[in-house]
Amino acid sequence: MKPQQADDPDPLLVNLDKLERRLNTIERVLENASLVGLTVQADELERRTSELRGRTETLEHEATSATERQRELYADLDIRIQNLERKLRDSVNQVSILGGDSLAPGQLPVPGGSDQDNYQASFEFLKEERYELAAMAFRQFLVSYPDSQLANNAQYWLAESYYGSQKFDIALVEFEKLINNYTTSRKASDALLKVGYCNYELKRWDAARYALVKVQTDYPDTTAARLAKQRLKRMDSNSQ
């Protein structure tokens, strides 16, 4: 073996130097690979964030638009209700100014108005307990609008106008008209109950009892039937 000279590099050191260079190269590759991965992940996160931001903005826009639309609809409905209420008040006030507590023969509460307008005006008189005026208005309504869908209700409230003014004999006739002429009316049970009440006030005990019992038989499980039962109990108590 050739002896190692002093100037010759140490083989061990050479090998170590090679290994160190290879290690440095591998570390740089790994470091670059990690940076690339992080860059890719960062790009993906940014893309997803952008998508979420876009969706959020869309939802916010849709929510704002829906809220504004609801406000517009509410405002429109409120204005329409106010206009109808003002129109009704004006109609009633006009009748009060022109006719006081009476209507001219053949005069409607709202001349030139629709059946709905005149029905509401007539009903306002009844709510104000202006029974004579209400009776006149509802009677003229039935003459002017005999085919109106509100005719059966108008007939009932006409009878109620007389009942409220304690004209029980006239009220009785009008309630019986509803029962006979509007057999499918939802007011039929109430009208039959009031037939019993009218006869009770007129001291026609047998007729009153017959009507009240018929309410219970024909219209069970209704408010009218419960009220009929109460009045019958009163009659039984009074007769003892």
Map residue 182 onto helix, strand or coil.
Answer: coil
pTM for the full predicted model: 0.60
Check pLDDT > 90 for residue 116: yes
136 and 212: one domain? Answer: no
**What is the extent of the structural domain holding 214?**
179-240
Last residue of a domain, one of 143, 165, 187: 165
User: What is the spatial distance between Cα 225 and Cα 97, in angstroms, rounded to a whole number?
Assistant: 42
Domains held by the chain: number: 2
158 and 216: one domain? Answer: no
Give the Cα-Cα-Cα angle 164, 87, 134 (nearest 5 degrees).
15
Instruction: For residue 202, tell me if it sits in a domain.
Output: yes
Question: Model confidence at 189, in pLDDT bands (50, 70, 90)?
Answer: very high
Q: Give 225-239 pLDDT, tens digit per residue.
A: 999 999 999 999 887
Last residue of a domain, one of 165, 192, 222: 165
113 or 96: which leads in pLDDT: 113
183 and 160: one domain? Answer: no
Q: Give 51-65 pLDDT, tens digit per residue.
A: 777 777 777 767 776
Instruction: For residue 25, tell me if it sits in a domain.
Output: no
Q: Rounded mean pLDDT of 96-105?
A: 58
Q: Give 33-42 pLDDT, tens digit per residue.
A: 555 555 556 6
157 and 213: one domain? Answer: no
User: What is the spatial distance between Cα 134 and Cα 160, in angstroms, rounded to a whole number?
Assistant: 9
Give one DSSP letter per residue of 121-175, joined into a string. HHHHHHHTT-HHHHHHHHHHHHHH-TT-TTHHHHHHHHHHHHHHTT-HHHHHHHH
